[in-house]
Amino acid sequence: MPLTNTAPATAPLRRSPSRLCLIKRDRPAKAVYVIKPPRIGSHVIEAYLQSILGITDPTFTLEDDSNIIYLSPELCTGWDVHALFAIVLCSTSTDNLIALMQTANDRWQKAADFFGRHASRSMNPGPVFRSFQDAQYEVLILHPRHFLPCGETLSISQIPYTVTDMVLKDSAGTPLPTLINSQRPPLNPFLVTINAHSKITNHLEKFQSAFPPHSLELIEKTST
């Protein structure tokens, strides 16, 4: 999932819309994966995502591009191994996803009332992915002292960013713009949200962090 940045028009403090490469198509990492040593096979997870949650199509495997996020090596380790940050849908995209889920749940409930508990539950992934091709994502910092320790910077399109108040900001204090998924076929937003929810839940259980208001909003919506 190469992510490029763009700033929403409703966020005047962020940079004007532009595109730059933040996460390079370098080292692949899965949004949903089998924990090692494996207690269950990948086919069990794939069947659960498809048949129970109804958020993937019948041909889905954990190796699909819709489940792969491509990161530069330093970011890959911080995201995939140490959970120093999470990649989350922005507030607006999360609202859209929640609304879509509610519509699907209402449809499933009507089918369950008529057919019983064996009613099929499906999000009809094809239209969902197309409608979320331009979904916007944000970087949610969970461990600022370890993500960029000792004032280190992350250079993005020749602009250095540091962590200030648990947010990536440039030297002028402007937050990192939201990111759009330029991968085709697009990344599955449900799988990204499952990954983010896992990282956030684990963090909140083990640590006490004073998140800024916007981060708290993202956490609350991702955990919905």
pLDDT for res 187: 83
pLDDT at 119: 60
Q: Which range marks the domain in which residue 33 is found?
A: 3-222
pLDDT of 35 reads 72
Nearest residue to 20 (alpha-carbon basis) of 137, 155, 156: 156
CB burial of 135-168 (b: ≥16 within 10 Å; e: otherwise) equals bbbbbbbbbbeebbeeeeebebeeeebebbebbb
pLDDT band (50, 70, 90) for residue 184: low
How many whole angstroms from its chain centre is CA 146? 20
Four-point Cα dihedral 141, 199, 88, 177, nearest 10 = 10
Select the highest-mean-pLDDT range: 30-44, 52-66, 112-126, 171-185. 52-66
pLDDT of residue 16: 35
Q: For the whole prediction, is pTM greater than 0.85?
A: no
Each residue's pLDDT tens digit, 154-178: 877 678 889 988 999 999 999 888 8
- Proportion of the chain above pLDDT 70, given as a percent: 76
How are beta strands 179-181 and 3-5 bridged, if at all?
A: antiparallel
Any idea which of 28-42, 98-112, 116-130 has the lowest mean pLDDT?
116-130
Predicted pLDDT of residue 140: 94
Structural domains in the chain (count): 1
Confidence of residue 7 (pLDDT cuts 50, 70, 90): very low
Span 110-156, pLDDT tens digits? 777 777 766 665 555 555 556 666 788 899 999 988 888 777 888 77
**Is 50 exceeded by the pLDDT of residue 9?**
no
